[in-house]
Structure 1
Amino acid sequence: MEKIIELKQNNERIYPLSNSQGVLLSNTSSISLYDSIYSLKDMVSLFSSKALDDFVNTTWIQTEDGIQATGIGADNYIKLDKDYFCDIKHTRLKLRIGSDNKLIFAFSTENIGSGVVPSKFYIDMQNKKIGMYKLKDPLGYANYVLSEVWGESDMPLDFAAGEYIFEIIKSSYKSIIRLTNYLTGKSCELICDDTIWSVGAQNGPLYIYLGNGAEMPVIKSLDVLTLYNPDIVFVGDSITEGFCVEDLRYRVGELFRIEHPNHKVMISARGGCTIAAILSRFEDEFNIYKPKKMVVNIGANGGNTKGGFDSLKQKCDDIGCTLYLCYNVCYTSTVEERKHQYVNNMIEEWSVLNHIEGARFDIATAANNNPVNDESQLPNEDLFSRNTQPYNLHPNKAGQIEMYKRLPIDLPDVHYLIA
């Protein structure tokens, strides 16, 4: 993925195309921000609907014009009850918005604004702003959105009641929101490309509600898209997602993406994830976007079974995807089924039997790179974060780099993308 390049020219911005030519985006541009930054044409739909029955609803109603709010406040929400793990995600809504509306869009795995790295964005028509809220403790537990605004962008002054396209884009660790007037093509956008989860990771189902306003907004359509047929997807839990990493550009999957700019790379991970959660991703994600290779690192949260691995391999075979199952890092756990020695013994036995390869992340993060998978294999504490407890669980930036170095050693087919 290309890094966003922003050049100021008379208060206008220039973003690069994949052919290195610039395209000028002003407030009158009708060019899609998503296409202009990433030139991603080969997308696939994960979800598309105009019908109330496809959502979890409290007080919204179906009308001829669309799905309409009937009240104010977080209790009067509509929810897209889909929890997508993919880190390339384009949520696109066509809306009819009132001139006094403040619409809230919250991705949350628990209550609105809370859970595993949640996010919260807004459209404020009365004050002519779009904005993003801050995430509390982005390098720690990262489980709560604050009421404090991270950043805002001004709307064109002539934005009033009417129809708009609102895009919420997740591209790796970046969050982008963009509001476009349906008739004029005028637009405003806000980009957070901080290398920590400053505004969250857009994790969890999407909640939408009216925070303020007398005119009731209408959702005319909602679509969610992602990359089709990526060359590789890195799958796992908080370690793969980059929990506690000081700079998200140094996650294993992100390092791979940076070093393979001409290939389509996805990260599909979530803190607290288990093998069961990965298997549940096939119906709503993997079976739809069909990755070519899948690198899995799972087990720190328990739940691994050889039967689960059998199911994972079968599901990958069904979509023509090559599976790689990596050893867990050399973390510390007091729970027997979560100890890396227990987890890695199971992975090794199953992988040998099924001829599946995987990266030795345990060697990468062990003191003195001890390759022996028993109680003598202790963590190199310099490679683990101290931002949360228990310690020696989440690799830090240095730890992720050491993990990445195992790919060309253990998985040359992956590192060099050999067909």
Structure 2
Amino acid sequence: MPPVLFPLLSILVFLATILALGFIAVLWYIFWRPLARTRQDLVVDDLSAPVEIVRDRWGVPHIYAQTARDAFLAQGYVHAQDRLFQLEYSRLLARGTLAEALGPAALEADRWSRVIGFWRAAERDVAALAPDDRAALAAYTAGINAFLEANQLRKPAEFTIIGHTPRPWRIQDTVGILKVLGWALSMNWEGELVRMQLIQRLGPERAAELDPALQYGDAAQDNAALLDPAAHEAAGQLMAAYREVAGWFGNAPSAGSNNWVVGPQRGAGRQPLLANDPHLTVSIPTLWYENHLEAADGSLQVTGATFAGIPGVVSGHNADIAWGITAGRADTQDLYVEKRHPDDATSFRAGDQWLPAVVLQERFTVRGQAEPVVEDVVITRHGPLVNSLIPADERSSLPPLALRWSGHEAGA
């Protein structure tokens, strides 16, 4: 090798080494450094007594506390430790503020969230909470915030990648997540649209032969409204618009669930066996979070699965009983064709009178845009008008369509 090339080669090797080390350092900073530290002693002022969290070989946390409150606080901590970005995504979706973190791509999901009113419903529910429920949610919230406070410089990689910093958790965030889950699991308006189409094409009598539900209750009385071509078109346009954003809310194209019990005389053991099989959208990470909570004072001893962001156990067992959940497929949503006052766009017919609607101004902050997007949400006695969620070129001739959902009612 010519002598003049040796120094040049040495410099190139040195620079390549520096670049490689820098690349490794970046990977460490973004991906490895934020990984949860599960073997450590922590001081959390809100705890009334020491809590021990033991993770088994599958990473499932077993929480041993003196009181149920301390157990829920520790549960909030480990949920944030393992699923912080999932928690943040879920609460931003419930708040209708995803676009603040993710930009214009998430704006349509935010518009649906604000119009449906997950956050408004969550605030109503929080105001009506029973004392025990409020205490459990407050403890869980304190646990999430304890993790945020102790790990301000160790956030998961997703936060570094998108440049987003989570704000302190609130009780409303947990209830808002429950509202979104309730919405995702109760999409019966699609079934009502199918019934509407059946009546439109076959007439009430023949449609009732295919769907017995049309023979009873309100469905039998409202067939005339279902035959309204304008209502039919509006509902179809709304469903088409929702399919464009359904993925943000975790709606599966086809979902269901089942559970059953095997009696002790039919199983290998001497106890009955509960099998619970909820069918939810496949996601990474999953919606479910397995954990075990135990309070030494006897107030809590439960193991099983909950949703990330929700305290307690949704499906599991204690020392005496087991329980599970399924999608009930109950009628929780109705679409109403409203009659607008000819001289007042915010008043609607209610029997022989006109009632004013509530008009809320919603401001959407969108990452990368200097000015917020401002829209009005109109809420009638039945619920919010959803016409604004249909593309503008398709909604001009449609009647006002209001959505009534059981999730709007406090405590539902």
Check whether TM > 0.5: no
State the TM-score, normalizing by the size of structure 1: 0.20
Q: Which has the larger radius of gyration?
A: 2
**RCO higher in structure (CA 8 A, sep ≥6):** 2
If each structure's helix is expressed as a fraction of its own residues, which one has the higher value?
A: 2
TM-score by length of 2: 0.21
Q: Which has the larger share of strand?
A: 1
